[in-house]
């Protein structure tokens, strides 16, 4: 078994073998978590409250290569980080080259409930492979679990590239991200008490000499 910071890290094959022995409601969530941020952790916390056993499937490096060109942290590192988060019972890292869905993990884990955080609001935002697995294994799905999408792993990295390189195009992309993201988030924040998230990012991108 791989080194762990708390939760057990199992392969798809190992978890599939263990699955019949597990008692209680199994909740699964998945993602790249590259790098992990408060939105991810809030999804884990809320997901755990929805069942008895929380399984986090961590998408492989091939998935991140398709999604954003490359991974920032490799699969082994990301799985290890997730294993140290309170409330997570099992971590299942998996590679599925050429497949951006979590279908392979869903087939092995077969949870009672699958959760998605961030801004996904329905099945129209899900890969066909996931939808087929939900139907085949009778998996319930709950969307928008955890804090509304305020953070973005890709944007954190974009900010860092913009700061380090001072590339005008990178800085422009960061500015555009915040312009679009906060325009969409305004109605939700208006309903909340307390301060809104800080519009960090491009205001401080100028590198100190």
Question: Which DSSP state fits 83?
Answer: H
Phi first, then psi, for residue 147 (nearest 5°) are -70, 140
In terms of phi and psi (left: phi > 0; alpha: psi -120 to 50; beta: otherwise), the region of 106 is: alpha
* Nearby residues of 191 by Cβ (< 8 Å), 6 or more positions away: none
CATH 1.10.1040.10 fits 8-142, yes or no: no
pLDDT of the residue at 193:
44
Unique residue bearing structure tokens 């978890």: 15
Closest by Cα among 93, 81, 17 to 55: 93
- The whole-angstrom separation of Cα 36 and Cα 80 is 11
Q: What would the 3-class secondary structure string for 11-33 be?
A: CHHHHHHHHHHCCCCEEEEEECC
Cβ count within 10 A of residue 154? 16
Percent of the chain beyond pLDDT 70?
68
* Nearby residues of 190 by Cβ (< 8 Å), 6 or more positions away: none
Domain residue limits, the chain: 8-142, 152-209
pLDDT in tens, 129-144: 999 999 999 999 999 8
pLDDT in tens, 27-86: 999 999 988 888 889 999 999 999 999 999 999 998 888 777 777 889 999 999 999 999
Closest by Cα among 106, 89, 86 to 55: 89
pLDDT in tens, 82-112: 999 999 999 999 999 888 899 999 999 999 9
pLDDT of the residue at 14:
98
- The whole-angstrom separation of Cα 184 and Cα 75 is 32
Cβ count within 10 A of residue 39? 19
Of the pLDDT bands very low, low, confident and very high (cuts 50, 70, 90), residue 147 is: confident
Mean pLDDT of the chain: 79
């Amino acid at each position: 078994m791989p080194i762990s910071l708390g939760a057990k890290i199992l392969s798809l094959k190992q978890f599939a073998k263990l699955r019949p022995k597990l008692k209680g409601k199994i909740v699964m969530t998945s993602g790249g978590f590259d790098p992990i941020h408060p939105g991810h952790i809030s999804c884990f916390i809320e997901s755990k409250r929805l069942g008895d056993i929380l399984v986090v499937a961590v998408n492989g490096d091939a998935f991140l290569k398709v999604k954003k060109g490359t991974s920032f942290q490799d699969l082994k590192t990301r799985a290890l980080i997730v294993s140290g988060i309170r409330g997570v019972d099992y971590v299942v890292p998996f590679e599925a080259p050429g497949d951006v869905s979590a279908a392979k993990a869903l087939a092995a884990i077969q949870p009672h409930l699958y959760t998605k955080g961030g801004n996904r609001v329905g099945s129209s935002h899900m890969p066909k492979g996931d939808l087929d697995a939900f139907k085949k294994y009778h998996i319930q799905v709950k969307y928008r679990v955890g804090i509304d999408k305020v953070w973005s792993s890709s944007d954190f990295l974009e900010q860092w590239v913009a700061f380090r390189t001072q590339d005008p195009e990178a800085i422009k992309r960061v500015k555009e991200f915040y312009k679009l993201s906060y325009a969409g988030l305004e109605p939700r924040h208006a309903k909340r008490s307390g301060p809104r998230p800080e519009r960090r990012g491009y205001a401080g991108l100028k590198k100190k000499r």
